[in-house]
Structure 1
Amino acid sequence: MATHAVRLNAVTKTYGRKVHALRGVTVDLPQGGFTAVMGPSGSGKSTFLHCAAGLDTPTSGTVHIGDVELSRMNETQLTELRRDKAGFVFQAFNLIPSLTVTDNVLLPFRLAGTRPDHAWVAEVLGRVGLGDRAGHRPSQLSGGQQQRVAIARALVTRPEVVFADEPTGALDTQTAAEVLTLLRQVVNSTGQTVVMVTHDPLAASYADRVLFLAQGMLVDEVYGAGPNAIAQRMTALGRPRAVPC
């Protein structure tokens, strides 16, 4: 059995002939961990997340989610894997305005044609603090509450990994802190794995580990660092150097 939730081995991603978004990235992301990915604009953060989650295909190298190697899968199999093993939270909440909170959370089951465990759905809504908002529509919720709905939707299928791409980018500071605390609690209380791309050192400080990308390469990592130390490392990003992982 794999001890990693996600593994990238020598992953490159090239667009056209000249744009090298990722250059030989190798890293293991452990099960039950909270990993943040940071780097300057254009460093390859989003490409890293998309390749790790099976949303994009590397030009070379391999990606595993658990024991499953993504490069061996066709598009139908990848769709099923993302549905069953991955949850997604983005900066845009991507909720359907006409549906209630509960119905938005139930969407993954409807798309898969599977029967939900309604007791589990209610438990997840309670965990994200929306047990009393189940019948509300997105327009009746604050931005932070809408992001909580998106997190509940990501968790409800019990995925192996939750991938979050700038999940607090559209939120004010206080609301962002509440959402990040929720993600931290998800890791601590359920052993869930979270991989989050962010540009914010404060957001990254909620993670166990922060990976730094520059020019498509993994150049550094820190563990248990506070926002000031993370910000200083971001400022000091210079010439990339290899990091053993």
Structure 2
Amino acid sequence: MTKTMPLPAAVRVQELTRTYDVAGQPVHALAGVDATFVRGTFTAVMGPSGSGKSTLLQTAAGLDRPTSGRVFVGDTELSGLSETALTKLRRTKIGFVFQLFNLIGALSVEENITLPLRLSGARPDRRWLSEVVDRVGVTSLLQRRPSELSGGQQQRVAIARALAVRPDVVFADEPTGALDGQTASDVLALLRSIVDDHGQTIIMVTHDPVAASYADRVLLLADGRVVADTPRLGVDRIAAQLASLGRRQETAA
């Protein structure tokens, strides 16, 4: 009998905690989260406001330091890195897609896409960049400024920027939150195809069951803990899970 080898992890978090001081009182944004994100998969992280989903994304991406616990990107543990080494890792191993795009208005589309490469001192792989801009559909927009683009076009540029460095993982924070329904569907289909066609790993925070339905897996958080970890679900089942969690929280309150 052939033994199946486990797929390698793009990101792992172990016993992850993050505590903030608010008016002299500790607030536990993360309370011991364990999760593994396998390479070549698309995970949606969901939960009510204050559940810890954005904090999980930020700590896993190295944008915030955990109070305790361990974060691995590939085989590299982030807690042992200096700020300089952590910045270098984020520029070379991690792509980030923001809800409000975070493009630089004074730069062209092409300059925005290649900015992470310039900041890291890396030589652009023109063949890869050409493939990326073609794949996300912005080849004809390279000389324009962000102000000349629609919201959907700006988000496509942001995705191309995240992919430009060939990252181990792309983190997306509510990437469709500022888009209309049809444009959001187009962007989600693009993210799905990047996983399927290029083996990219995507971890996406979203509040939208429709967006989450594009993912291979839904990780549901509440009160800083993982309360459900399920394979790909339809929109109705995701919405039902969220509604059930909301009712439990109301009862507990």
Relative to the length of structure 2, the TM-score reads: 0.92
Q: How much has 1:96 moved relative to structure 2?
A: 1.3
Moved more, 156-165 or 125-134: 125-134
Partner deviation per Cα, 1:175-207 (whole Å, 9 max, x = no partner)? 000000000000000000000000000000000
- Conserved? CA contact 1:2–1:66, under 8 Å: no
Specify every segment of 5 or more residues in structure 1 that has no aligned partner in the other structure, as ranges: 240-245
**Cα distance in 2 for residues equivalent to 1:113 and 1:199:** 36
Q: Which amino acid in structure 2 is aligned with residue 5 of structure 1?
A: A
Partner deviation per Cα, 1:30-72 (whole Å, 9 max, x = no partner)? 1110000000000001100011111111111111011111111
- Conserved? CA contact 1:164–1:194, under 8 Å: yes
Q: How much has 1:112 moved relative to structure 2?
A: 1.4
Once the two structures are superposed, the pairs formed by residues 40-55 of structure 1 within 5 Å of their partners are 40-55=48-63
Residue 143 of structure 1 is aligned with which of 131, 147, 151?
Answer: 151
- Secondary structure of the residue that 2:112 maps to in structure 1? helix
Q: Matched residue pairs, number?
A: 239
- Conserved? CA contact 1:2–1:67, under 8 Å: no
Residue 21 of structure 1 is aligned with which of 1, 14, 29?
Answer: 29
**Cα distance in 2 for residues equivalent to 1:51 and 1:220:** 20
Residue 139 of structure 2 is aligned with which of 126, 131, 137?
Answer: 131
2:210 counterpart residue number: 202
Partner deviation per Cα, 1:119-162 (whole Å, 9 max, x = no partner)? 22121110001111111111221100000000000001000000
Q: How much has 1:98 moved relative to structure 2?
A: 2.0
Runs of 4+ in 1 over 2 A off after TM superposition: none
1:170 counterpart residue number: 178
Once the two structures are superposed, the pairs formed by residues 1-245 of structure 1 within 5 Å of their partners are 3-16=8-21, 17-237=25-245, 238=248
Give the alignment's Cα RMSD to 1 decimal. Answer: 1.3
Q: Which amino acid in structure 1 is aligned with residue 202 of structure 2?
A: V
Q: How much has 1:218 moved relative to structure 2?
A: 0.3
1:243 counterpart residue number: none
- Conserved? CA contact 2:91–2:117, under 8 Å: no
Specify every segment of 5 or more residues in structure 2 that has no aligned partner in the other structure, as ranges: 1-5
Relative to the length of structure 1, the TM-score reads: 0.95
Sequence identity of aligned pairs in percent? 60
Q: Which amino acid in structure 2 is aligned with residue 42 of structure 1?
A: G
Q: How much has 1:114 moved relative to structure 2?
A: 2.1
Q: How much has 1:212 moved relative to structure 2?
A: 0.3
- Conserved? CA contact 2:216–2:231, under 8 Å: yes
- Secondary structure of the residue that 2:141 maps to in structure 1? coil
- Secondary structure of the residue that 2:12 maps to in structure 1? strand
